[in-house]
Amino acid sequence: MPKPIKDVLPYIAYGGDYNPEQWEEETWYRDAELMQKAGVNLVSVAIFSWAVLEVEEDVFQFEWLDKILDILHEHGVGVCLATATASPPAWMTKKYDDIPAVDEKGIPYSFGSRQHYSPSSPSYRKGIKKIVKALAERYKEHPALKMWHINNEYGCHLSECYSSYSLEAFHHWLQEKYKTIEALNKSWGTNFWSQRYNDWAEIDFPVNQATFYNPGQKLDYKRFMNDQIFDLYLIEKNILRDITPEVPVFTNFMYQFKPLDYFQWAKELDVVTWDSYPDPREGIPYRHAFHHDLMRSLRQGQPFLIMEQVTSHVNWRDINLTKPPGTMRLWSYGGVARGADGVMFFQWRQGRAGAEKFHGAMIPHSDNEKSRTFQETAKLGNELKLLDSVRDARVKAKAAILMDWENWWAVELEGKPHNGLSYMETLEAYYKPFFDLNIAVDIVHPAADLSEYSFVVAPMLYALTSAEAEKLENYTAEGGTILFSFFSGIADKHEHIHLGGYPGPLRKLSGIYIDEFVPQSEEGRLTFVKKGRQFSSSIWADVIYPEGAETVAAYETGWLAGIPAVTKNRFGKGTAYYIGTAPEERFLKEFIKEISEENHVIPALKVEDGVEVSEREGEEEKYLFVINHNEYEVNVKLAEGTTYYNMLSKQNISGKEALPAKEVLILSYSK
Ligand code: GAL
């Protein structure tokens, strides 16, 4: 059994990716001293070190890593030891021609960048087993070893492979799934366009076809690739579990990453970690707050770690905006507020050579302790030491947004009534009101237990099973409130339509019937009216016929005039709302506020616009985070009669508190 993270890390984790192999030995000592000054307690080592650890096949060179781990340990810095498998070395890539992944056109990727391996390569699979075993055996007793960092951002650059090895594995995967070719034919609907198969060997990849792909084939390829990459993770995990059963393992997830079903993956991680790179030009980072909430929800509220972020600027956007002074600190607290128990960076020391030399780091090229970057780094690291007690405290959300990777894959396949639908943008549109209103929200799978939630939002739940729909019915019948958006309840997981009128298995629950969709052109704007107030919408309109639901808002525009745009249906002890269009932001904010208030789903504290509030609950105390993203000071009115402890200024406060621009209040108080 792996140790609980709160025991492994008795502090808020602070540090970053550390690549000592890129530096001379004398720098290692300076690094360790600077880490102490900066309050660093954890670093990720050896992420891209395969070539310097296994210098030739079966020839391992661990001495440098031994030394690094010893130095770090002597300086009180723990290590997330990476398994080094994210980039197989040149000798291996040249020696075994099954290693490179192959692109859609059948061209193998060449060596010289990173992550060029095929997930189906037998030699890669053999290679990772050897290096992971060797690392685990060597360092299993090392006192610096805190956790295992498996690979790095699986799928980040390559999440598809079209090699002959992948095709063989695809056939195998399909056989496992369908058992008979007839079952596959049924699932893929191959009587359409003469697509029937007599044998598994007749099946190709869904690439380079004359026109539209078979949706079943495409969906299964996505599922297969997700599973194939996941399998790599499991190979490593199982070896590590055998040799170091008590050491937690994880891999680092990414932002908005469509190819990998993180709900599936998270079950096999001991802690969710993710790499967070909001673009400063986007202003208040609500999208990345959405991802914090997702990462927290992936393991039912267990705190996560921000495994990477940047102090200043990245180097992979066209123009890499720098985070202005104070922003890195503010956004880091935004993560802690939503459940992060660790704030780490890519990377510790800014590189001298290689493709990432202009990427920001905790120590800039100047190596100057007085630099803004290092000062901000050290300030945050030393402040976080005051927050030990926040660890493991939970965000208790009464609202949830449903999210499903399978649905994401299906709804964005080609051949839809509107081919500009973006599942992620839709989720974000429904998330933003919760962020703006400071209402805590979890992001959960449609099949999850929803009984803890008073209000559930299901945006664009296009592909869902009848069993999932039944769960949503039961949730509502028992008193829950649910809100659906357009294009929900349309297909099953084979992407076969639920016949008999939309929204299929949600028809009874929503109390409406839809016979046709009315997609809008780019310029198309609809207007609808709710209680005498006009709102606009775009992209889509459902032609809704109420079957028991009441009309909350109806269109004014053209031939749709009078048709409901928004409906409300009493169902058992609960209520189901349905929005048949993509409304303007103002409407969604008002509507979500109204429904939340009706259901007593309220923020932990009422504050001005531009101020973010999130609360975590520990065993005895609550921790209230108030983050002022504005360029001006605001007044924060605290709950009457409560005395709070300001964890950063170490003072008791109550009543009103002035919160300067770009500042944060972290307040603990008794439950
Ligand atoms: C991450 C990756 C790191 C580094 C970083 C730069 O995606 O895991 O190795 O490349 O991006 O932002």
pLDDT in tens, 231-277: 999 999 999 999 999 999 999 999 889 999 999 999 999 999 999 99
Q: Which atom of ligand 1 is nearest to the CA of 156?
A: 7
For 480, what's the count of Cα atoms within 13 Å in the CB-facing half-sphere? 24
Q: Whose CA is nearest to atom 3 of ligand 1?
A: 346
Long-range contacts of 499-508 (CB under 8 A, 24+ apart): 502/542, 503/578, 504/469, 505/464, 505/465, 505/466, 505/469, 505/470, 506/461, 506/464, 506/469, 506/472, 506/576, 507/547, 508/473, 508/571
Report whether residue 308 contacts ligand 1, using a CB cutoff of 6 Å: yes
CB 344 less than 6 A from any atom of ligand 1: no
Ligand 1: does its nearest atom lie under 6 Å from the Cβ of 347? no
What pLDDT is attached to residue 239? Answer: 99
Instruction: Please give the distance, rounded to the nearest whole angstrom, from the Cα atom of residue 444 to the centre of ligand 1.
Output: 27
Q: Beta-carbon neighbour count of residue 661 at 10 Å? A: 14
Please give the pLDDT value at position 669. Answer: 98
107 CB neighbour count, 10 Å cutoff: 10
pLDDT digits (tens, 9 = 90+) for 107-116: 999 999 999 9
153 Cβ below 6 A of ligand 1: yes
Tokens at 466, concatenated: 């009848």
Strands 512-517 and 252-253: unpaired
Q: How many CB atoms lie within 10 A of CB 466?
A: 13
Cα of 602 vs centre of ligand 1, distance in Å, is 37
128: CB partners within 8 A, 6+ apart: 83, 85, 232, 235, 236
Q: Residue 252 CA: which ligand 1 atom is closest? A: 8
Residue 379: Cβ within 10 Å count: 15
Distance 346 CA to ligand 1 centre (A): 6
Residue 593 scores a pLDDT above 90:
yes
- For residue 616, the one-letter residue type is R
The string of pLDDT tens digits covering residues 402-441 is: 999 999 999 999 999 999 999 999 999 999 999 999 999 9
pLDDT of residue 372: 98
Bridge partner list, 17: 44
Residue 277 to residue 214: CA distance in whole angstroms: 35
**pLDDT confidence of residue 255:** 81
Ligand 1 midpoint to CA 252 (Å)? 10
Spatial separation of the C-alpha atoms in residues 450 and 448, rounded to whole Å: 6
In this predicted model, what pLDDT tens digit does every residue of 365-397 receive, in sequence order?
999 999 999 999 999 999 999 999 999 999 999
Residue nearest to atom 4 of ligand 1 (CA): 346
CA-CA-CA-CA torsion sign (223, 226, 227, 228): positive
What whole-number distance in Å separates Cα of residue 9 and Cα of residue 443?
26
Distances in Å between the alpha carbon of 434 and those of 291, 447, 591, 607, 657? 13, 22, 11, 14, 24
Say if ligand 1 is within 6 A of residue 487 CB.
no
Q: How far does the centroid of ligand 1 lie from the alpha carbon of residue 599, in Å? A: 42
Contact 236, 85 (CB under 8 A): yes
Q: Which residues are catalytic?
A: 153, 308
Q: In the structure encoding, which two tokens stand for residue 37, read together?
A: 């000054």
For residues 42 and 13, the answer to whether their CB atoms sit within 8 Å is yes
If one residue of 346, 356, 362 were mutated to test the ligand 1 pocket, choosing by the most ligand atoms within 8 A of its CB, it would be 346
User: What is the share, in percent, of the chain residues with pLDDT greater than 70?
Assistant: 100
In contact, 371 and 428? CB cutoff 8 Å:
no
- What angle separates helix 122-139 from helix 63-74, to the nearest 10 degrees? 50
Cα-based torsion angle of the residue sequence 644, 648, 650, 652 in order, rounded to the nearest 10 degrees? -20
Strand 399-402 and strand 441-444: pairing? Answer: parallel
